[in-house]
Amino acid sequence: MYTEKTIKHFRNPKFAGEIKDADAVGEVGNMKCGDVMKMFLKVEDGVIKDIKFQTYGCIAAIASSDAMCELALGKTLDDALKITFKEVIKQLDDLPQIKFHCSVLGTAALKKAIENYKKKVSD
């Protein structure tokens, strides 16, 4: 059902955790499935220098969160905003269609964190 890459991201997530002094945090959830994702960002000169996640959810939710972080690390905030759920799925070598919403949640959590950061900087 899940690809080897998805299982690897689930079992050994590189980006799981919390950044205590994060520059921004974004949190989203899906009431239907119960998944909750929280993304933490450390930003320098408009570039994501560190990123972590905390996810309560299924294999696909945790793997999608980790893959999302992998894609976003080192990107400018504007480039990170352009990451699509399809890119997250590709990073995992596919997901069952019924689990696509997990990759959508990952992109939404990142977007919330970036919005949070931009709001803080503009205030």
What is the spatial distance between Cα 2 and Cα 122, in angstroms, rounded to a whole number?
42
* CATH for 19: 3.90.1010.10
* Owning domain of residue 98: 4-122
d(CA 50, CA 72): 9
Look at residue 117 in the predicted model and tell me its pLDDT.
97
Total tally of structural domains belonging to the chain: 1
pLDDT tens track, the chain, 123 positions: 899 999 999 999 999 999 999 999 999 997 777 889 999 999 999 999 999 999 999 999 999 999 999 999 999 999 999 999 999 999 999 999 999 988 999 999 999 999 999 998 887
